[in-house]
Structure 1
Amino acid sequence: MASQPGLSRLFAQAARLKRAPRRGAHWAIRGYQLSLSMLVGRHCRHWPSCSSYTDEAIQRFGLWRGGWIGVARICRCTPLGTSGIDLVCEELPPDSAWYRPWRYGRWRGVNAPEQP
């Protein structure tokens, strides 16, 4: 029974390690929001902003999947692209896989809430 506390400590360390890429990406995005974004100006065609959207996607789906979702959103944020309310999807598309990362993102349209 002496190994139980050591085992739980090991699992806790593994969980912290697993969250490390997400935390690193979060702080990189936050640094951008507090520095470069303030200098350039906070103009985004969507709500939430592209950096907030990417941060939420990474926190929800992990660095690889969420990063690709964020890249797709940034590619849509152009003068000829979409605008308006665009929320992070609740679930990943069913045909997405780690070796086809372009399938994670929505490259056209927005994910707006239902209108009453």
Structure 2
Amino acid sequence: MRFLLITLIKLYKYFISPLLGPRCRFYPSCSSYGLEAIQIHGAFKGSYLTLRRLLKCHPFHEGGIDPVPEKLSK
């Protein structure tokens, strides 16, 4: 599942994103955030974090620096 999600995000980054231009209000970009979140936290939690981030990426949010939270050790 993780491999599929990462592949889909990479396809978006390399084929669709260049056509749309830079639109993300955050650093790192939402697609980079999604890749990192899935790599660090796995498919389920990484997808949840990415969805939360995407819902914040709109013209009425100020944006800014929003790094992926570190994985907490148990």
Offset, 1:82 = 3.6
Match of 2:70 in 1: 90
Structure 1 stretches of 4+ with a deviation exceeding 4 A read: none
Match of 2:52 in 1: 72
More relative contact order, 1 or 2 (CA 8 Å, 6+ apart):
2
The 5 Å alignment of 1:1-116 reads 21-91=1-71
Q: Which runs of 5+ in 2 are unaligned?
A: none
Q: Percent identity?
A: 40
CA RMSD for the aligned pairs? 1.2
Offset, 1:23 = 1.6
Q: Which runs of 5+ in 1 are unaligned?
A: 1-20, 93-116
Q: Which amino acid aligns with 1:38?
A: P
Q: Does the CA-based 8 Å contact 2:40-2:71 persist in structure 1?
A: no
Q: Does the CA-based 8 Å contact 2:24-2:30 persist in structure 1?
A: yes
User: Could you say which structure has the larger radius of gyration?
Assistant: 1
- The 2-side partners of 1:88 and 1:65 are apart by 11
**Aligned pair count?**
72
Q: Does the CA-based 8 Å contact 1:45-1:84 persist in structure 2?
A: yes
TM-score, structure 1 normalization:
0.58
